[in-house]
Amino acid sequence: MGEPRGTAVVSPSAEAIGSAAAAQASGENFPVALRLLPGRYRRRLEAVYGFARAVDDMGDEAPPDERAQLLDELEADLGRLYQFQDPALREVPAQEGAPDAGPPGDGPQIGVVRALATVVGECAIPQQVFADLIRANRQDQVVSRYPAFSDLVDYCRLSADPVGRIVLYVFGAWTPRRALLSDKVCTALQLAEHWQDVAEDFQAGRIYLPAEDMEQFGCTEGDLAAPSAGPQLRALMAFEVERARQLLDEGAPLVGNLHGSARVAVAGYVAGGRAALAAITEAGHDVLRATHKPRRSRLAREMLRAYAVGR
């Protein structure tokens, strides 16, 4: 006998990955100072991060031949969630090959999607920002090199900027102006993460350093396979770190545009980005020898600076 008509079906793998992601999110040390935030904000952010973690795990950790199907199932389940929301929130343009959400009567089946129901309803978060996170991971399945910096920034618009916009919705602080500043912060944070993980990404077959920049500084892909960075790569990383720092500084006035818990949270993001970039610089920009994490003392100083100064 088949499944009852009107019942959505998801694979055990999708639910298992989602459950593991939710558990990891609830215990993770987020860049925002969760312990300083009221419980309602912590719960909302944990639901959001659980979903984002599930997207990453389905696209990065699952067996390669299962990833596309898992992302399809997650996107279809997201569609089922939004079938029960305000129509104004369901504004994802139809794309060729996009999965069908299934019969209108179905509710979401994957735990991390079900967990979004309350926060989406309370905060009126549009479907597009969650869908963009899935699109970014689909891109990771087929794109492993970026010719120009502008191409990488376009990727960050899908992989990073939606998270910042979601955070603004979570705190009831979304405005078009704040969203633009948030995009700068989040793109800079994504760049900082890529610059920390150059060696790890290369081992996974991905290079986020723009090809045009590598050529400008005389770096080849072979240089990324070395145990430590040579002078050309160090010079390239100094350039990329400074570019990310400038972008972060352009978006940092968002902190001063916020109040209360929202200001604490976004100051935490800005501080985390600055501290991560500083850690790379303090290591002489050798991003191959180790993944350079910021010291807690530096992170605390940056947090105080961002919160007090508001940028």
Q: How confident is the model at residue 230 (pLDDT cuts 50, 70, 90)?
A: very high
Mean pLDDT to the nearest integer, 283-308: 94
Mean pLDDT to the nearest integer, 220-235: 98
Mean pLDDT to the nearest integer, 252-257: 97
SS (H, E, C) 244-294: HHHHHHHHHHHHHHCCHHHHHHHHHHHHHHHHHHHHHHHCCCCCCCCCCCC
Q: What is the pLDDT of residue 245?
A: 98
Would you call 262 exposed, middle or buried from its count of C-beta atoms within 10 A (0-12, 13-18, 19+)? buried
Is the predicted pLDDT of residue 21 greater than 90, yes or no?
Answer: no
What secondary structure letter does DSSP report for 89? Answer: G
Torsion on CA atoms 118, 122, 127, 132, rounded to nearest 10:
-80
Alpha-carbon distances, residue 90 vs 49, 85, 120, 238, 251 (angstroms) = 21, 8, 11, 42, 28
Distance CA 211, CA 18 (A): 35
pLDDT tens string 100-149: 655 555 789 999 999 999 999 999 999 999 999 999 999 999 999 999 99
Distance CA 238, CA 278 (A): 11
Packed helices 161-170 and 176-196: angle between N→C axes, nearest 10 degrees = 130
Mean pLDDT to the nearest integer, 162-191: 98
Q: What is the pLDDT of residue 126?
A: 96
CA 49 distance to own-chain centroid: 9
Q: Please list the residue range(s) of the chain that carry CATH number 1.10.600.10.
A: 144-311
> How many Cα atoms within 13 Å fall on the side-chain side of residue 202?
17
The tokens describing 52, both together, are: 């984002």
| Counts of helices then strands in the chain (DSSP H, E) | 14, 0
> What predicted TM-score, i.e. pTM, was given to this entire model?
0.89
Superfamily of domain 144-311: Farnesyl Diphosphate Synthase (1.10.600.10)
Mean pLDDT to the nearest integer, 162-176: 97
Q: How confident is the model at residue 93 (pLDDT cuts 50, 70, 90)?
A: low
Is the predicted pLDDT of residue 252 greater than 90, yes or no?
Answer: yes
Task: Using the Cα atoms of residue 111, residue 114, residue 115 and residue 116 in order, give the sign of their dihedral.
Answer: positive
Residue 160 contacts by C-beta under 8 Å, 6 or more apart in sequence? 186, 187, 189, 190
